Amino acid sequence: MVKILIFAHRGEAQAFFTQWEFLKVNFYFTVLFKNKDHYLLITGEGPKEASEKTVAVLAAFKPEITEVINIGIAGSLTPKLKVGEHVWVRSSYAQNAERCEFKSFTTKNHNNIDCITAYSRVTTPEEKKTLSSFADIVDRELWSIASAAHLFRIELSALKLISDAITLHSLTRTL
């Protein structure tokens, strides 16, 4: 029984490649690796890429995989979270165009940080303010990964590094 570590980009996984020896898995795409205890998957950026690759790997290796762990970066939508902090995510929501998805997914971590997955990069204070009504942080992949884990009934954890933060100035400009 192994865990799968899922990252959007190779740079996010670099510490794992440095510390552990992973070998490429002969699969439909070249971004799946394995060692004795873990698979490691690089999905690419965005919900579509994360969904497709996660579902394909979980479908192929479900009997072995006992836990999905998503590790990556996220933007803070609240002044309480600072750049450089690591946070475990409690729940994942999705924002699709002008609305939020009503289906959410909960991780095995029971803290108070929620994440909303955006279908496009969040670049304006207005977008950050809107999303801050739903979650504390924003990313581009977690909801899709969580949806796949839920589909295959596999436990999920998510650890995010805060890469950028909402500022008081950007919040007040939009009020």
- At 98 the pLDDT is 60
Exposure pattern of 140-168 as b/e (b: 16+ CB <10 Å)? bbbbbbbbbbeeeebebbbbbebeebbee
**Residue among 124, 17, 9, 128 at smallest CA distance from 73:** 9
Q: Which residue has the tokens 């991780």?
A: 107
DSSP 22: -
**Residue among 83, 59, 105, 115 at smallest CA distance from 41:** 59
80 burial level (CB within 10 Å; 0-12, 13-18, 19+):
exposed
Query: Would the pTM of this model clear 0.75, i.e. be above it?
Result: yes
pLDDT tens for each residue of the chain, 175 residues long:
899 999 999 999 999 999 999 999 999 999 999 999 999 999 999 999 999 999 999 999 999 999 999 999 999 999 999 999 999 999 999 876 565 666 778 788 767 899 999 988 888 888 888 888 889 999 999 999 999 999 999 999 999 999 987 654 444 434 3
Q: What is the CA radius of gyration of the chain?
A: 16
CB 107 within 8 A of CB 97: no
- At 167 the pLDDT is 56
Q: Write the single-letter amino acid at 28.
A: Y
- At 173 the pLDDT is 37
CA distances from residue 106 to 59, 63, 103, 126 in whole angstroms, order as listed: 21, 22, 10, 27
- At 9 the pLDDT is 95
Q: Which residue has the tokens 């954890």?
A: 157
